[in-house]
């Protein structure tokens, strides 16, 4: 065995340390990761309020930033310009976003929630059926899940899309117009729907039952998915935990949401009581549902080009 003198041993150790130093320096200078979430009023509100995601991601050196939005289309605009990395949205907004070239990736989906969106009319309205909406002013948020609902409801009741007088308004403006009588009907989702039923005595003309599934989707960008799959997997896990708990504890869940939303408990009770909770991976069947929506919108010239939903399957297909 060759003996190494003490001076030579110190020299080798010094060289080894010098070689290692750049690695430590590079590690120290590596950019910190961040998950920027755009959320609406829903399960993500609870996730934000509880702070459990921050605790799960802290050991990975990942910070979380939250921004609340009133509707899906503006969330996806934020994704397209690189302002957020993750969010929750209805079934229609991703179609418009993908058609506009957004680098969208589907991460997970909810179970169907058909009773959580509906067409409502004022309490004393003479409108009794969907067919009665012909020529009437109908408020809705353009490009949201309710846009697809009104398309399919009209189709089911033999009402041509061209006979719909749609007035595109975000939820707050639509409610104001509905209260003033400036529009004849409003197509809206929970909890805005429940709030209108409870505080304005609005009447549900038709919900999405038997018409569309009304799934919710959790989305990211293709680039973020490629670089941060571990972060997104943890986010979906935490969302699903809330779904499982909420399904088994609807009264407590409604109370928590009422506080977070700043809405009366009866509104939250109504909203929570008619929704099934659960998070599911993206499957070929789910993408086929979305493809049908995309094809419908293209046929109506609501989007400028045909799109392939498989291009947004960045999180993989189960």
- C-alpha distance from residue 315 to each of 53, 96, 163, 286, 310 (Å): 19, 19, 39, 13, 11
Q: Is the pLDDT of residue 98 over 60?
A: yes
| DSSP assignment of 68-131 | E-SSHHHHHHHHHTTS-SEEEE-SSHHHHHHHTT--EEEEEEEPP-GGGEEEEE-TT-S--SGG
Lowest pLDDT segment from 9-13, 227-231, 274-278: 9-13
Return phi, psi of residue 33, to 5°. -85, 155
Name which of 148, 161, 136, 138 is nearest 73 in CA terms. 148
Asked whether the domain spanning 115-207 has the same topology as the one spanning 33-112+215-312, the reply is yes
pLDDT level of residue 318 (50, 70, 90 thresholds): low
* pLDDT tens-digit series, residues 101-145: 888 899 999 999 999 999 999 999 999 999 999 999 999 998 888
Q: What is the pLDDT of residue 80?
A: 84
Return phi, psi of residue 174, to 5°. -65, -40
- On whether the CB atoms of residues 78 and 69 are closer than 8 A, the answer is yes
Lowest pLDDT segment from 82-91, 130-139, 194-203: 82-91
pLDDT level of residue 42 (50, 70, 90 thresholds): confident
Q: Cα–Cα distance between 138 and 120 in angstroms, integer?
A: 10
Return phi, psi of residue 92, to 5°. -85, -40
- On whether the CB atoms of residues 150 and 119 are closer than 8 A, the answer is yes
Domain ranges of the chain: 33-112+215-312, 115-207
Query: Which strands, in side-by-side order, build the sheet including 137-140?
Result: 165-168, 137-140, 185-189, 117-121, 203-207
Q: Is 197 or 103 the better-scoring residue by pLDDT?
A: 197
Q: What is the pLDDT of residue 10?
A: 43
Torsion, Cα 254 139 122 72, to 10 degrees, reads 0
Q: Is the domain defined by 33-112+215-312 classed in CATH 3.40.50.620?
A: no
* pLDDT tens-digit series, residues 255-294: 999 998 899 999 999 999 999 889 999 999 999 999 999 9
Lowest pLDDT segment from 18-27, 142-151, 162-171, 255-264: 18-27
Give the tokens for residue 277: 């909770």
H or E stretch including 203?
Answer: strand 203-207
Average pLDDT of 194-214?
A: 96
Q: Which residues have a Cβ under 8 Å from the Cβ of 232 and sit 6 or more positions away?
A: 86, 107, 220, 224, 225, 315
Strand partners, 121: 203
Q: What is the pLDDT of residue 26?
A: 39
Return phi, psi of residue 207, to 5°. -105, -170
Q: What is the pLDDT of residue 23?
A: 42
Lowest pLDDT segment from 5-9, 226-230, 253-257, 259-263: 5-9
Q: What is the mean pLDDT of the chain?
A: 87
Q: Is the pLDDT of residue 48 over 50?
A: yes
* pLDDT tens-digit series, residues 173-184: 999 999 999 999
Give the tokens for residue 209: 């039952």
Looking at domain 115-207, what is its CATH homologous superfamily? Periplasmic binding protein-like II (3.40.190.10)
């Amino acid at each position: 065995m060759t003996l190494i003198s003490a001076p030579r041993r110190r020299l080798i150790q010094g060289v080894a340390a010098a070689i290692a130093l750049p690695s430590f320096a590079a590690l120290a200078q590596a950019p910190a990761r961040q998950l920027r979430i755009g959320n609406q009023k829903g399960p993500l509100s609870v996730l934000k309020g509880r702070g459990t995601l921050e605790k799960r991601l802290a050991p990975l050196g990942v910070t979380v930033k939250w921004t609340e939005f009133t509707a899906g289309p503006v969330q996806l605009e934020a994704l397209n310009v690189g302002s957020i990395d993750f969010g929750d949205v209805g079934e229609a907004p991703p179609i418009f976003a993908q058609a506009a070239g957004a680098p969208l990736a589907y991460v997970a989906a909810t179970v169907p929630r058909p009773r959580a969106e509906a067409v409502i009319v004022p309490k004393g309205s003479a409108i009794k059926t969907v067919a009665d909406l012909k020529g009437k002013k109908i408020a809705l948020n353009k490009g949201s899940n309710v846009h697809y609902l009104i398309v399919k409801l009209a189709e089911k009741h033999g009402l041509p899309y061209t006979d719909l007088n749609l007035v595109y308004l975000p939820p707050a403006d639509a409610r104001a117009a509905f209260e003033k009588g400036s529009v004849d009907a409003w197509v809206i989702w929970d909890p805005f729907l429940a709030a209108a039923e409870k505080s304005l005595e609005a009447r549900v003309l038709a919900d999405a039952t038997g018409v569309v599934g009304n799934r919710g989707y959790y989305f990211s960008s293709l680039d973020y998915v490629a670089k941060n799959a571990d972060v997104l997997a943890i986010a979906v896990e935490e969302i699903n935990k809330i779904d499982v708990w909420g399904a088994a504890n609807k009264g407590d869940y409604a109370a928590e949401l009422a506080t977070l939303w700043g809405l009366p408990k009866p509104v939250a009770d109504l909203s929570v009581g008619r929704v099934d909770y659960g998070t599911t991976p993206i499957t070929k069947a789910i993408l086929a549902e979305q493809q049908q929506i995309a094809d419908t919108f293209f046929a109506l010239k609501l989007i400028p080009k045909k799109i392939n939903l498989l291009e947004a399957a960045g999180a993989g297909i189960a």
